[in-house]
Structure 1
Amino acid sequence: MGGPAAKKQKREDYRASLNIAQSENAVAKLPKKSFYRQRAHANPFSDHALTYPSRPEDMDWREHYPDFVVDGKVDRGVEIADIGCGFGGLLFALGPVFPGTLVLGMELRTSVTEFVQEKIKATRLQAATTTKESNPNNYTYSNISVLRTNSMKFLPNYIFKSQLSKLFLCFPDPHFKTRKHKARIVSSTLTSEYAYVMKEGGIIYTITDVEDLHVWMRERFEGCSLFERVGEEELEAEGDECVRLMREETEEGKKVGRNGGRKWIACFRRGRDPEWPV
């Protein structure tokens, strides 16, 4: 009979075979989610044995974006971040829309992060072997990557002040119980941290299928003087495709759509820093 140990061995055997196939330059196969399943959410306050840089300048991005390495280091910084990226649906949608921009997914769950890493590796290999007819824009997925980290604790360890132009918070854990609200990805404290990493005019995009959480996030951002709410229509008029991508391309967004659920969206623009009194 197959118990937890047998299932674990099956997963490990599958992942090993996937790595061997890719290392031998065989036809790259996309990983199967069924071998990377994990609990829907992780406790951000648990000890997850993470390694992280002491400061952004100590982070080595070369293995994440090897095609952008010039003179031994990546020649540009990450501009778009998807916090809690899950299985990476939005990453793979954003990459082709912003081909010269580095896009980073941040995810706490180990197996889910491994899935995205393997999918990026496979899609890069596939892109390298496609013809110009099937890939006319010669897009290689070289500008997207993912890392396992706890962004609630370590976002400023990776991202400089005023570095990001876009940040996504898609279908975060609602933490329904009042005593769990401190674990929500948006809080009065964290909005200040998001303001720190966002450049002036940058946009934070939020989406959820839980109205209570939507109201919570909206109130926290509206309570921060460094953000102002911006409507979906205004963004679309500016040619911003991100709201559509966030609504349609995330795995959770697709599931909510299949079930006929409602998606609550709120976007916020980073304002100008207040002038210091002389």
Structure 2
Amino acid sequence: MARVRVREHVNPLAEKYQTSIAPPQWDNLYGKVQQPLHLDIGCARGRFVLKMAQALPQWNFLGLEIREPLVEEANQIRDQLGLTNLHYLFCNANNSLQPLLASLPTGVLQRVTIQFPDPWFKKRHQKRRVVQPELVEQLALALPEGAEVFLQSDVEEVALQMRSLFDESPVFQPTTAGWLETNPLPIPTEREIATLARNFPVYRALFHKLNPTGQKDPHSEAQGGEGQTQING
């Protein structure tokens, strides 16, 4: 399959991206819909979750991407490989995340990754960044206790902004005070591999979801189903 060529950056505030997508029928997308779900926001070509789905068949994986040709290509590759624990959706996470999260089976969402999002360096463009207070609030409401949010970027300013927004939430607790030295996931992204090959730093942070009172829920151990694995920072 020829590699799809698309624009590197897409403005999520453009009019064409302002319509929220209708949630899919999850039973039609996954062979075992009650498996724990890993959501990758801004998955680009989707190779990270593709490899994760192959390595961890006891998990389901969902990639969200705003560039539709990349989603079509990724789903074609998924179909060719016959994977039933992987799906990609074309959407703007800044306006489609809430209805998607609300439609998921209760308790299945156990991990969220946001990796190397578009930096939008100019101050007037920073409202285009994917991690906004509304996104953090939506994840805080949707994630069960013990679920994980993993963030990474090769732009320190962007990583600091993402980490500070999750730090400000009373229900997300970082695993370390500073940056993680290594990636706790078994599969790196293509961007991470390229960045480290140039000896440039990658800034990483891992958060766990607390219950609303900040106290451990004694029933949370059962959430996520058989085969759930926690990332250890």
Class of the TM-score when normalised by the shorter of the 2 chains? 0.7 to 0.9
Partners of 1:184 and 1:227 in 2: how far apart? 20
Corresponding position of 1:48? 16
- Runs of 5+ in structure 1 lacking a partner? 1-30, 69-74, 125-140
**2:20–2:96 CA contact under 8 A, matched in 1:** no
- Matches of residues 12-31 of structure 1 in structure 2 within 5 Å? 31=1
Is the alpha carbon distance of 1:52 and 1:187 closer, same or farther for their aligned partners in structure 2, counting shifts above 3 Å?
closer
Alignment of 1:5-154 (within 5 A): 31-33=1-3, 36-48=4-16, 52-53=21-22, 59-65=24-30, 67-68=31-32, 75-76=33-34, 79-124=37-82, 141-154=83-96
Post-superposition shift, 1:90? Answer: 1.4
Higher relative contact order (CA 8 A, sep 6+): 2
Name the counterpart of 2:116: 171
> How far apart, CA to CA, are the structure 2 residues paired with 1:63 and 1:230?
35
Q: Distance in 2 between matches of 1:106 and 1:219?
A: 23
1:156 aligns with 2:98: yes
| Corresponding residue SS for 1:48 | helix
Query: 2:190 is matched with which residue: 228, 246, 251?
Result: 251
* Contact kept in structure 2, 1:84 and 1:107, CA below 8 Å: yes
Q: What's 1:203 paired with?
A: 148
Counterpart Cα distance in 2 of 1:177 and 1:156: 27
Q: Deviations over 1:55-87 (max 9, x none)?
A: x5xx3135432x34xxxxxx4276210001111
Please say if residues 92 and 144 of structure 1, whose CA atoms lie closer than 8 Å, have aligned partners that are also in contact. yes
The Cα RMSD (Å) is: 2.6
Using the aligned pairs only, state the percent identity: 25
Secondary structure at the aligned position of 2:211 is classed as: coil
Measured in 2, the distance between the counterparts of 1:193 and 1:204 equals: 13
Return the index of the structure with the highest Cα Rg.
Answer: 1
Answer yes or no: is the 8 Å Cα contact 2:20–2:92 preserved in 1.
no
- Alignment length (residue pairs): 209
CA distance in 2, matches of 1:108, 1:268: 25
1:124-173 residue CA offsets vs partner (Å, 9 max, x unmatched):
2xxxxxxxxxxxxxxxx210111111111111211237542100001001
Q: Distance in 2 between matches of 1:162 and 1:41?
A: 33
CA 1:60–1:194 in structure 2 vs 1: closer, same or farther (change >3 Å)? same
* Matched-pair contact (CA < 8 Å) for 1:87–1:116: yes
1:200 is paired with a residue whose SS is: coil
Is the 1:205–1:266 contact (alpha carbons within 8 Å) kept by the matching residues of 2?
yes
Match of 1:145, SS? strand
Amino acid at match of 2:11: N
